Amino acid sequence: MLREGGGDQSLREHLIATAERLIAERGTAGLTVRAIAREAQVADGVLYNHFADKEELLALALRAHVRTVGRRLGEPPRAAGEGTVEGNLRAYIAYGLALHIAILPAFAGLVQQPKVFTRFNELPNPMAEGLGLRADLGDYLRAEQRLGRLAPGASAEAAATMIIGACHELVLPGVFSGSPTTMEQIPDGFIDELVTTVVGGIGP
């Protein structure tokens, strides 16, 4: 039906969507052309009529996965001056944790496939399409500084890096140990403690 009604481009999109679904369900480790073709109900060789190689297909599917996760999560808070800084930072951290939990396992499964990373990096960056969380958080903090709600001499970049780094720290160990982290496993009070440390600092 795809060949007859949708043309080559529709079949290409179908293959990307199939690979994306498999990545979301199983991750990328061990994902083969045969598994993708079987799930898409096409012959193995059909993939090579639409992609230069397996790496191109996986890179496109991985990009689609990142964008899907971003759409599902929605956008983090962006309006400086609304609510409280503490409340907004809690929302950013919760969003960042959910984002990392959803996408890092897919990237970790490609550690032994550098060609996929190369192809992925050649594509338009999905993290620049509303998902550049560290840069977005830095922009938010600078806006709060201009409003006088944060110390003008503080480094927004350093604070944003610390927050996003904390998200990595909580999620990455589980990814590489084979026991992916869930939101339920985030220590109670961690988000509040991180917000308090960022806003209040650690000086005397």
pLDDT in tens, 147-184: 999 999 999 999 999 999 999 898 888 877 777 788 88
84-119 residue pLDDT tens = 999 999 999 999 999 888 888 888 778 778 888 888
The pLDDT, as a whole number, for residue 31 is 86
Model confidence pLDDT, tens digit, residues 55-68: 999 999 999 998 89
DSSP sequence for the chain: -IIIIIHHHHHHHHHHHHHHHHHHHH-STT--HHHHHHHHTS-GGGGGGTSSSHHHHHHHHHHHHHHHHHHHH------TTSS-HHHHHHHHHHHHHHHHHHHHHHHHTTTT-HHHHHHHHHS--GGGSS--HHHHHHHHHHHHHHTTSS-TTS-HHHHHHHHHHHHHHHHHHHHHHT----GGGSPTTHHHHHHHHHHH-S--
State residue 165's pLDDT score.
Answer: 92
